[in-house]
Amino acid sequence: MPLLTVSTSPIDGQKPGTSGLRKQTKIFQSPNFLENFIQSIWTGIGGVTGKTLVLGGDGRFFNAEAAQIVLRMAAASGAARVIVGQNALLSTPAASHLIRKRGADGGIILSASHNPGGPNGDFGVKYNTGNGGPAPESVTEKIFAATQVISEYAILDSADIDLATLGEKTLGDMIVDVVDPVADYADLMASIFDFDALKALFAGGFRMRFDAMHAITGPYARAILEDTLGAETGTVINGTPSPDFGKGHPDPNPIWAKTLMDEMMGRDAPDFGAASDGDGDRNMIVGRGQYVTPSDSLAALAANATLVPAYSGGLSGVARSMPTSQAVDRVAAAQGIDCFETPTGWKFFGNLLDAGRCTLCGEESAGTGSDHVREKDGLWAVLFWLNILAKRQISVKALMEDHWQRFGRNYYSRHDYEGVDAGAANALMDDLRGRLSALPGTQAAGLTITSADDFAYDDPIDGSRTEKQGIRIGFDGGARLVLRLSGTGTVGATLRVYLETLDTAVFDKDAQEALAPVIAAAEALAGIKDRTGRDAPDVIT
């Protein structure tokens, strides 16, 4: 099989963001864009000669073609083996698990996660290391450096390889091992949770709706919830992955999963509702008449973790991304365990998990996970909730009310301003950053500022430092405001404004009303309307 060495030159804009390299699909399809980045991954990790990799994606438009290119390039650069999900499909948590289980050197995940897909949507590529987690910044920086000096890439000149049939085949000297994308992951879930209790729950008439949002989790959810645990047929909706996610936006939040929300708030709602994102690592939890914010979900899981067989011995610690609410902090304090605050993005949890310093981690953006893999895991979080409900025989609403009685309630919301002019967004952040040191002791819209900083993280395991991770402003009484710019968007800038306030007495307020003083303080401090030219956020979650 002829080996081609193709000459190329650096292409701008190949710097990985919060979660891999994410661009419009059209850009990924443009000449050499994907090839340059893949060859730069090989360079950044010190070559792939003799290595074993895992490969799969969320099934979005261009997934199948991109997988063939990655395989031909891995073979051309001397990889020994690539383990691929059938039809090049793998959810992100399933890919993480396969890397760990098979002792692979790393893996490539083809996904733009919660971003819409299709020819006019987005595509993405992420490299995960041998621990199964997203490459840390030390690695992504090497990959980025390679993209800036690349002059050629290697690829086999071969026909597409059959990825529909399971089993081992060869591509040049490389073995391509096509595996069932669901089986290993389903076994892992059975080893963590009390499946007998879950079967009994569904046998007792418990009703659930799982919205797979036309994305990758459908086959996993059907196999586990319906086929194994006995949830009734039709529990999983939008369960067949489609290249453009049914023209939807596969982001599991009350805005984009509105049909599910309406059902859960309606008469005759099922007991439990959940949704997952494009690549299956996010989760939304909603009970009958009760939405659970991801920050609250993390806190509730931590508080009830010992009901799950795998966590029955207690948690070693917990971790949350900085903008995630402080609800889990008080659970950790009550349990006498550490609570780490990390920058946004799952790559920052990897070292803590590897070192055994934390068991559970989570983000306000609907990501929750544990040390079972090194990614957030949507279906795992859903099974965790089911396991708790089965053991406690309680509704989601009653469980959350009980939780707030014990720990207080952190009213929480995120306001996103999308597609903002990048210059204006950066100016807003720079200007506020310049005023931070003078803010403590002053007032904003009637709230007294007690702290203000630009979040920097010193990794307690490897000592690396990450700066400029978002502006944190604390107010008297425990309220908090965070502003940061998204690292996953593909058009202009997205300003995220995270709002939080603690109430230890009243638990049934509307979140936006409870947060009105913090929203006013955000406007007073940052002049968001003026700077962005927007009257209101594009998305409120």
Residues interacting with ligand VG1, by CB under 6 A? Answer: 18-19, 113-114, 277, 281-282, 321, 344-346, 363, 365, 367, 486-488, 496
Interaction of residue 263 with Co ion, rule CB under 5 A: no
Figure out which of the listed residues 58, 105, 263, 277 binds Co ion, where binding follows CB under 5 A.
Answer: 277
Q: Based on CB atoms, which residue is closest to ligand VG1, 48 or 522? A: 522
Interaction of residue 363 with Co ion, rule CB under 5 A: no
User: What single-letter DSSP state applies at residue 246?
Assistant: G
The option from Co ion, ligand VG1, none interacting with 409 (CB < 5 to 8 A, set by class) reads none
Interaction of residue 251 with Co ion, rule CB under 5 A: no
401-to-332, 409, 445 alpha-carbon distances in Å: 19, 9, 31
Which of 19, 40, 111, 113 is labelled catalytic? Answer: 113
* Three-class DSSP category at 325: coil
* Three-class DSSP category at 165: coil
Q: Based on CB atoms, which residue is closest to Co ion, 113 or 490? A: 113
Q: Based on CB atoms, which residue is closest to Co ion, 110 or 171? A: 110
- Structure-block tokens of residue 35: 């090839």
The option from Co ion, ligand VG1, none interacting with 218 (CB < 5 to 8 A, set by class) reads none
Residue 317, amino acid: G
Contact present, 540 and 255 (Cβ < 8 Å):
yes
- Euclidean distance between CA atoms 237 and 234, whole angstroms: 6
Write the burial class of residue 399 (CB in 10 Å: 0-12 exposed, 13-18 middle, 19+ buried).
buried
- Euclidean distance between CA atoms 411 and 507, whole angstroms: 9
Task: Note if 113 is an active site residue.
Answer: yes
Q: Based on CB atoms, which residue is closest to ligand VG1, 61 or 153? A: 61
The option from Co ion, ligand VG1, none interacting with 501 (CB < 5 to 8 A, set by class) reads none
The option from Co ion, ligand VG1, none interacting with 365 (CB < 5 to 8 A, set by class) reads ligand VG1
Of 112-120, 168-176, 290-298, 382-390, the segment contacting Co ion by CB under 5 A is: 112-120
Q: Based on CB atoms, which residue is closest to Co ion, 105 or 279? A: 279
Q: Closest Cα partner for 260 from 213, 218, 226, 305? A: 213
- Structure-block tokens of residue 357: 């310093």
Interaction of residue 58 with Co ion, rule CB under 5 A: no
| Residue 278: CB minimum distance to Co ion, A | 6
- Euclidean distance between CA atoms 389 and 272, whole angstroms: 10
* Three-class DSSP category at 465: strand
| Residue 209: CB minimum distance to ligand VG1, A | 21
Size of the site for Co ion (CB under 5 A): 5
Figure out which of the listed residues 105, 137, 279, 371 binds Co ion, where binding follows CB under 5 A.
Answer: 279
Residue 283, phi then psi, degrees to nearest 5 = -140, 145
Residue 409, phi then psi, degrees to nearest 5 = -115, 130
- Euclidean distance between CA atoms 473 and 479, whole angstroms: 9
| Residue 343: CB minimum distance to ligand VG1, A | 10
Q: Which residues form the interface with Co ion (CB under 5 A)?
A: 113, 277, 279, 281-282
Instruction: Tell me which residues are annotated as active site.
Output: 113
